[in-house]
Structure 1
Amino acid sequence: MRIPVISGLLLVSTLLAGCGEQAAEPAAVAPAQPALTLSPLGELALRPERNAPAAVIGRHEARISAEVAATIQALPVEVGQSVAAGALIVRLDPRDAALALERAEAALAQAEARLAQADAQLQRAQTLRERNFYSPEALTLRETERAAAVADARAARASRDTARRALDKHSLRAPFAGVVRERPAQLGELAAPGSVLLTLVAAGDPEVAAQLQPQDVEVVAQAGEWQFEAAGVRHPLRLIRVSPAMNPESRSVEARFAFAAAAPAIGQSGRLLWRETRPWLPADLLVRRDGRYGVFTAVDGKARFHVLPGASEGRPALVDLPDATRIVVLGRHALQDGAALP
Structure 2
Amino acid sequence: MRDLTPILLLAAALGTPAAFAQTARPLSEIAIYPEREASAQAVALNESRIAAEIAARIVALPIEVGQTIARGAVLAQLDCRDHELSLARARAAHDAARSRQELSEQQLRRARELGAKGYFSREALDARETEFEVVRADGAQAQAQLATAERAVTKCMVHAPFRAIVRQRIASVGEFATPGVPLAALADAERVEVAAQVQPADRGSLAQAAEVRFTGSAGPRKLRLIRISPAVDPQARTVEVRLAFTGDPAPPGSAGRIAWRDPRAHLPAETLVRRDGRLGVFVEDAGVARFRPLPQAQEGRPVLAELPAETRVFVSGHLALQDGQRIATASR
The TM-score, its normalising length taken from structure 1, stands at: 0.78
Which residue is equivalent to 1:310? 296
Please state how far the C-alpha of 1:278 moved relative to its aligned partner: 1.6
In 2, the alpha carbon distance for the partners of 1:136 and 1:123 equals 14
The TM-score, its normalising length taken from structure 2, stands at: 0.81
Counterparts of residues 247-262 of structure 1 (less than 5 Å)? 252-260=239-247
Query: Which secondary structure state, in structure 1, belongs to the residue aligned with residue 54 of structure 2?
Result: coil
Task: Tell me whether 1:145 sits opposite 2:131 in the alignment.
Answer: yes
Which residue is equivalent to 1:122? 108
Q: What whole-Å deviation, never above 9, does each CA across 1:268-299 have from its counterpart, x for those lacking one?
A: 21111111112233434322223321111112
Counterparts of residues 129-168 of structure 1 (less than 5 Å)? 129-168=115-154
Q: What whole-Å deviation, never above 9, does each CA across 1:193-239 have from its counterpart, x for those lacking one?
A: 333322334445865444444443332232212222124x7524141
Rg (Cα) greater in structure: 1
Relative contact order (C-alpha < 8 Å, sep 6+): which is higher? 2
In 2, the alpha carbon distance for the partners of 1:35 and 1:196 equals 76
In 1, the alpha carbon distance for the partners of 2:97 and 2:174 equals 38
Q: Is 1:227–1:234's contact at 8 Å kept on the other side of the alignment?
A: no
In 1, the alpha carbon distance for the partners of 2:107 and 2:12 equals 130
Which residue is equivalent to 2:185? 199
Match of 1:235 among 208, 211, 220: 220
Identical columns (%): 43
Please state how far the C-alpha of 1:36 moved relative to its aligned partner: 1.8
Distance 1:208 1:300, change over 3 A: same
Counterparts of residues 47-62 of structure 1 (less than 5 Å)? 47-57=33-43, 62=48
In 2, the alpha carbon distance for the partners of 1:318 and 1:176 equals 46
Match of 1:223 among 202, 205, 209: 209
Match of 2:23 among 37, 49, 55: 37
The letter for the 2-side match of 1:335 is L
Distance 1:299 1:190, change over 3 A: farther
In 1, the alpha carbon distance for the partners of 2:155 and 2:241 equals 35
Please state how far the C-alpha of 1:51 moved relative to its aligned partner: 1.1
The letter for the 2-side match of 1:253 is E
Please state how far the C-alpha of 1:135 moved relative to its aligned partner: 0.6
Please state how far the C-alpha of 1:324 moved relative to its aligned partner: 3.0
Which residue is equivalent to 2:91? 105
In 2, the alpha carbon distance for the partners of 1:94 and 1:131 equals 56
Counterparts of residues 278-293 of structure 1 (less than 5 Å)? 278-293=264-279
Q: Is 2:47–2:186's contact at 8 Å kept on the other side of the alignment?
A: yes
Unpaired runs of at least 5, structure 2:
1-10
Please state how far the C-alpha of 1:58 moved relative to its aligned partner: 5.1
The letter for the 2-side match of 1:185 is A
Query: Which secondary structure state, in structure 2, belongs to the residue aligned with residue 243 of structure 1?
Result: strand
Task: Please report the RMSD computed on the Cα atoms of aligned residues, expressed in angstroms.
Answer: 3.0
Q: Is 1:217–1:253's contact at 8 Å kept on the other side of the alignment?
A: no
Unpaired runs of at least 5, structure 1:
1-28
Which residue is equivalent to 2:280? 294
The letter for the 2-side match of 1:272 is I
Please state how far the C-alpha of 1:316 moved relative to its aligned partner: 2.8
Please state how far the C-alpha of 1:46 moved relative to its aligned partner: 2.6
Which residue is equivalent to 1:16? none
Q: Is 1:235–1:263's contact at 8 Å kept on the other side of the alignment?
A: no
Please state how far the C-alpha of 1:81 moved relative to its aligned partner: 1.8
In 1, the alpha carbon distance for the partners of 2:229 and 2:127 equals 64
Match of 1:334 among 298, 320, 329: 320
Q: Is 2:46–2:191's contact at 8 Å kept on the other side of the alignment?
A: no
Query: Which secondary structure state, in structure 2, belongs to the residue aligned with residue 103 of structure 1?
Result: helix
Which residue is equivalent to 2:159? 173
Please state how far the C-alpha of 1:331 moved relative to its aligned partner: 2.9
Which residue is equivalent to 1:319? 305
Which residue is equivalent to 1:78? 64
**Aligned residues, how many?**
311
